[in-house]
Structure 1
Amino acid sequence: MTNDSAAHSLLEEEERDFQLVVRQFMEREVRPLVDEMERAGRPPQELLKKMGEQGILGCYAPEEYGGGGGSLMTRAIVAEETARVNAGLDATLFVNISLVTRHLIKRGTEEQKRRYLVPLIAGESSASICLTEPHGGSDALSPRTTARKDGDHWVINGSKTFITNAPIADVFMVFARTSGENRRARGGTCFLVERDTPGLSVGKPFDKLSLRSSPTAEVFLENVRVHENQVLGEVDEGFYYMLEGLDLERVFEGASNTGIAQACLEVAVEYAQDREVFGERLASYQMIQDKIARIATGVEMSRVMFYHLIRTLERGENCTRAAAVLKLYSSEAAVEASREAVQILGGYGLMEEYPAARLYRDAKHHEIGAGTSEIQKIIIARETLKSGGKAK
């Protein structure tokens, strides 16, 4: 990001310094491992530990648990800079740090924080959020996974699918219905289930189009018994926790989309400036300049909006409509950026040895994951109709 970006002024000096540190780490430590991670289908544990040691994972977490005590913006910076180099690694960190860690910070008991939060911040463990089920992803309030009380334990039965980090997770944050009716937030409970708990099993890693360095699989729970001290927060309140985190999840999707689009811009510009066609630099042709301008505009608009909404979240303000707008716009901008990057590179854009092909595959994920574009449009329309179309 250059100083002429409108987003530059939205960062504090310490945040800009941190951004430089993270960017340098990604170039030095992560970029050389990208091909290896894509082939292996997971990030190396040594890399996560190194990120923990450098304070990258726990940048915004409380210092008493090994975090840096920084702003939420520092975590957003990590998301953008990671996605710029490898979107799969960003997806793994997104679950570990943006979602699970934040839930533990906000609602975990002291024992839960020491047992699960500290290792996540140190890069010594990974986690999964088990929400999506085979019968439907967006209808999260109608899970078929249930839990019933049995003395001082809970017995969980059900299955989950498309679970990020499942093949490498040490702890699973499982959402199950414990009372109430489908499509009602009341009656959902969140459980912390350790990997070696009897009855919990993980399926074979999915062979995916995108985010190949982030492992994804099914999770099965058959009469899984967990002690009542493994409940995160309050019984029957878990779905409210999930709903509260949706705005943050969509804003961080904006950070990831911006990182992917920024990578596309860099790839396209470098190639266009180096490649000669009919005796002229490719960048001298107006059709190519049009593509570059459109990619750059998408990057700039996405970045400014997600920076603004991070500040909104830091103030504790609601941003449901704006977060959905960001998720929709930035994912479409990233897909367009990746498509145009492939087009600019021509035949080389179709070769897996060049990053454009990976960026093209990875960008598409964000129009589906964390709420499809169609769901975002429903949210935007619903919230706009509530306000009568008036600006708030």
Structure 2
Amino acid sequence: MDFTLPEEHRMMRESVRDFCEAEIAPIAQDIEDDHRFPAEVFDALADLDVMGVPIAEEWGGLGGDQLLYALVTEELGRVSGSIGLSYAAHVSLASKPIELFGTDEQRERWLRPLAEGEYLGAWALTEPGSGSDASDMDTTAERDGDEWVLNGTKQFITNANVAGSVLVKAVTDPGAGYDGISTFIVDPEADDGMTVTNVWDKMGLNASPTCELQFDDCRLPADRLLGEEGDGWEQTKKTLDGGRISIAALSVGLAQGAFEAAREYATEREQFGQPIGKFDAVRDMVVGMDRKIERARLLTHKAATMYDDGEDVRRLSSLAKLDASEIAREVAEDAVQVLGGYGYTTDFAPQRFYRDAKLMEIGEGTSEIQRLVLGRELGL
């Protein structure tokens, strides 16, 4: 749908694509093999001024819209799911809530360095015993004079061991249900009591750190409360409306990368005297991949545009996330099949896209939860 994109969006996409081809593609498999977080890539992305694409210029961001942010995320995912995931978590989950719900003092102190790319951010919601039921959390924050005291464990937290700030969800009123959850800003360097207790080895996305966090009497000044006490769950739902669009965009990028690898192979690899793409079975598979990607991209762009127009996007963001994440896995699996034995080796990219794509159906609400959300939106 290039013809519908504003000129500045197309220019930014091309700029990021050129960067990805030159700086990320050559190391994409190596950083996965080494389980290495590529800090230098994010320093370079800061130099490109894309670490705060949808954040207002007033707070150090680019002042772009959700559609522009989706395009950047897709381009990163097209070459590296890990870099795309850490980027999306930094922007949608760790930065945007401070802009939406913070005071001007909090935006200046905590949002500006995130948007300018001084460091990455993280967002801590999930716990060892609460996955899809994220509201059933055991982490608590108790008021003690002019401080809040955090205790508990958070699980599967992207960027936590490389973050300069972490937004933490905690129960401040155990008897209030959803209205008893609040959000706090934690400084990993300055706040005693927060420990990274595990960095997980995963099926894929191993250049994006996924951590377990432990809070033991972690004391925070009163001004670290984001928004009002008890607003945490409403903040979470609004944050995920945008976050799911970014995961949809990342999924489209993963699918596009896998598709391009398959198409290139199908035009170059010969069997029985002709390129394998000339055979119906392979051709139809590649054509099907292209069709699915275009569908997911259109849905993602529609959700992003509605978000920018200030409309309620709960249904569209869930639709986009559900469709794009499942398409990413399907397309990546087909790409492995097109390459045959070579597709199963780490010398070729499809295996990496295949492994990376699976998380898209799990993170920020599983496919099953998206169907639940969509059913509710339809009154079912």
Q: Determine if the TM-score, normalized by the shorter chain, exceeds 0.5.
A: yes
Q: In the alignment, which residue of structure 2 is the partner of 1:4?
A: none
The reply to whether residue 225 of structure 1 matches residue 210 of structure 2 is no
CA shift digits 1:277-327 (9 cap, x unpaired) = 111210000000111111101110000111111010011111222222222
**Unmatched 5+ stretches in structure 2:** none
Cα distance in 2 for residues equivalent to 1:44 and 1:356: 21
Find the partner of 2:148 among 141, 147, 154.
154
Q: In the alignment, which residue of structure 2 is the partner of 1:325?
A: 319
* Secondary structure of the structure 1 residue equivalent to 2:61: coil
Stretch deviating more after TM superposition (103-112 or 328-337): 103-112
The reply to whether residue 26 of structure 1 matches residue 46 of structure 2 is no
Matching of residues 338-357 of structure 1 within 5 Å: 338-357=332-351
* Secondary structure of the structure 1 residue equivalent to 2:29: helix
Find the partner of 1:312 among 298, 306, 309.
306
Find the partner of 2:91 among 68, 90, 97.
97
CA shift digits 1:69-123 (9 cap, x unpaired) = 1222111111100000101111111111122111111122233223222222232
Cα distance in 2 for residues equivalent to 1:221 and 1:180: 18
Q: In the alignment, which residue of structure 2 is the partner of 1:8?
A: 2
Q: In the alignment, which residue of structure 1 is the partner of 2:50?
A: 56
Shift of 1:41: 2.6
Q: In the alignment, which residue of structure 2 is the partner of 1:281?
A: 275
Q: In the alignment, which residue of structure 1 is the partner of 2:330?
A: 336
TM-score (norm 1): 0.93
Cα distance in 1 for residues equivalent to 2:53 and 2:83: 17
Q: In the alignment, which residue of structure 2 is the partner of 1:193?
A: 186
Cα distance in 2 for residues equivalent to 1:244 and 1:102: 10
Find the partner of 1:263 among 244, 257, 262.
257
Cα distance in 1 for residues equivalent to 2:240 and 2:48: 28
Stretch deviating more after TM superposition (277-286 or 112-121): 112-121
* Secondary structure of the structure 2 residue equivalent to 1:186: helix
CA contact (8 A) 1:10 1:308 kept: no
Stretch deviating more after TM superposition (52-61 or 343-352): 52-61
Q: In the alignment, which residue of structure 2 is the partner of 1:390?
A: none
CA shift digits 1:317-375 (9 cap, x unpaired) = 11222222222211111111011000000000010121111011001111111111111
Cα distance in 2 for residues equivalent to 1:385 and 1:121: 38
* Secondary structure of the structure 1 residue equivalent to 2:136: coil
Matching of residues 41-52 of structure 1 within 5 Å: 41-52=35-46
Q: In the alignment, which residue of structure 2 is the partner of 1:295?
A: 289
* Secondary structure of the structure 1 residue equivalent to 2:178: coil
* Secondary structure of the structure 2 residue equivalent to 1:14: helix
Could you tell me which amino acid in structure 1 is paired with residue 183 of structure 2? C
Shift of 1:180: 4.6
Could you tell me which amino acid in structure 2 is paired with residue 172 of structure 1? V
Cα distance in 2 for residues equivalent to 1:93 and 1:10: 25
Pick closer, same or farther for the CA change 1:38–1:166 going to 2, 3 Å: same
Q: In the alignment, which residue of structure 2 is the partner of 1:250?
A: 244
Stretch deviating more after TM superposition (112-121 or 163-172): 112-121
* Secondary structure of the structure 2 residue equivalent to 1:170: strand
The reply to whether residue 132 of structure 1 matches residue 126 of structure 2 is yes
Could you tell me which amino acid in structure 2 is paired with residue 270 of structure 1? E
TM-score (norm 2): 0.96
* Secondary structure of the structure 2 residue equivalent to 1:124: coil
Could you tell me which amino acid in structure 1 is paired with residue 66 of structure 2? L
Stretch deviating more after TM superposition (224-233 or 98-107): 98-107
* Secondary structure of the structure 2 residue equivalent to 1:385: coil
Q: In the alignment, which residue of structure 2 is the partner of 1:380?
A: 374
Could you tell me which amino acid in structure 2 is paired with residue 144 of structure 1? D
Find the partner of 1:73 among 39, 53, 67.
67
* Secondary structure of the structure 2 residue equivalent to 1:61: coil
* Secondary structure of the structure 2 residue equivalent to 1:167: helix
Cα distance in 2 for residues equivalent to 1:82 and 1:221: 32
Could you tell me which amino acid in structure 2 is paired with residue 139 of structure 1? D
- The number of residues matched between the two structures is 379
Cα distance in 2 for residues equivalent to 1:121 and 1:30: 21
Could you tell me which amino acid in structure 2 is paired with residue 263 of structure 1? G
Cα distance in 1 for residues equivalent to 2:372 and 2:83: 30
The percentage of counterpart residues that share the same residue type is 36
CA contact (8 A) 1:257 1:366 kept: yes
* Secondary structure of the structure 2 residue equivalent to 1:192: strand
Cα distance in 2 for residues equivalent to 1:383 and 1:68: 33
Could you tell me which amino acid in structure 2 is paired with residue 274 of structure 1? E
Stretch deviating more after TM superposition (110-119 or 88-97): 110-119
CA contact (8 A) 2:153 2:215 kept: yes
